[in-house]
Amino acid sequence: MMLRMVWQRMGIGLVTLWVVSVIVFVATSILPGDVAQIILGQAATPETLAAMRAELGLDQPGYIRYFSWLGNMMTGDLGTSKAGGATISSLIGGRIGNTMMMAGLVAIISIPISIALGLWAAMHPGTILDRIVTFGTLSLISVPEFFIATVAVLILAVHLHWLPSTAYMTGDETFGQLIKALAMPLITLVIVVSAQMIRMTRAGILNVMSSPYIEMAILKGVPRGRIILRHAFFNAIGPIINVIALNLAYLVSGVVIVETIFAYPGLAKLMIDGVQTRDLPLVQACAMIFCGTYVVLILIADVGSIVSNPRLRSPK
Q: List residues near other proteins by CB under 8 A.
A: 16, 19-20, 23-24, 27-28, 31-33, 138-139, 141-147, 150-151, 153-154, 157-158, 165, 249-250, 252-253, 256-257, 260-261, 271-272, 274-276, 278, 280, 283, 287, 290-291, 294-295, 298
Quick one: 26 or 179, whose CB is closer to other proteins?
26
DSSP 70-120: HHHHHTT---B-TTT--BHHHHHHHHHHHHHHHHHHHHHHHHHHHHHHHHH
Helix (H, G, I), strand (E, B) or coil at 167: coil
Q: How far is the CB of 221 from other proteins (least distance, A)?
A: 27
Residue 120 CA to residue 198 CA, distance in Å, equals 10
In terms of CB distance, is 52 or 249 closer to other proteins? 249
Closest CB to other proteins among 48 and 139? 139
As measured in angstroms, the least distance from the Cβ of 70 to other proteins is: 16
What whole-number distance in Å separates Cα of residue 312 and Cα of residue 316?
8
Min dist. Cβ of residue 180 to other proteins (A): 16
Q: How far apart are the first and last CA of the chain?
A: 9
Query: Do the beta carbons of residue 56 and residue 65 sit within 8 Å?
Result: no
Is residue 278 within 8 A of residue 6, CB to CB? The reply is no
**Which CB, 3 or 69, lies closer to other proteins?**
69
Q: Least Å distance between CB 195 and other proteins?
A: 12
DSSP 227: I
Q: Toward other proteins, which CB reaches closer, 2 or 65?
A: 65
Q: Give the C-alpha separation, 180 to 174, whole Å.
A: 10
Shortest Å, Cβ 212 to other proteins? 17
The residue (of 186 and 298) whose beta carbon lies closer to other proteins is 298
Backbone angles phi, psi at 265, to 5 degrees: -75, 70
Cβ at position 220, least distance to other proteins in Å: 25
Query: Least separation, in Å, of the C-beta of 315 and other proteins?
Result: 28
Neighbours of 197 (CB within 10 A): 25
Closest CB to other proteins among 186 and 200? 200
Classified as helix, coil or strand, 133 is helix
Nearest residue (CB) to other proteins, 150 versus 309: 150
Q: Least separation, in Å, of the C-beta of 293 and other proteins?
A: 9
22, burial (CB in 10 Å: exposed 0-12, middle 13-18, buried 19+): exposed
Q: Are the C-beta atoms of residues 15 and 48 closer than 8 Å to each other?
A: no
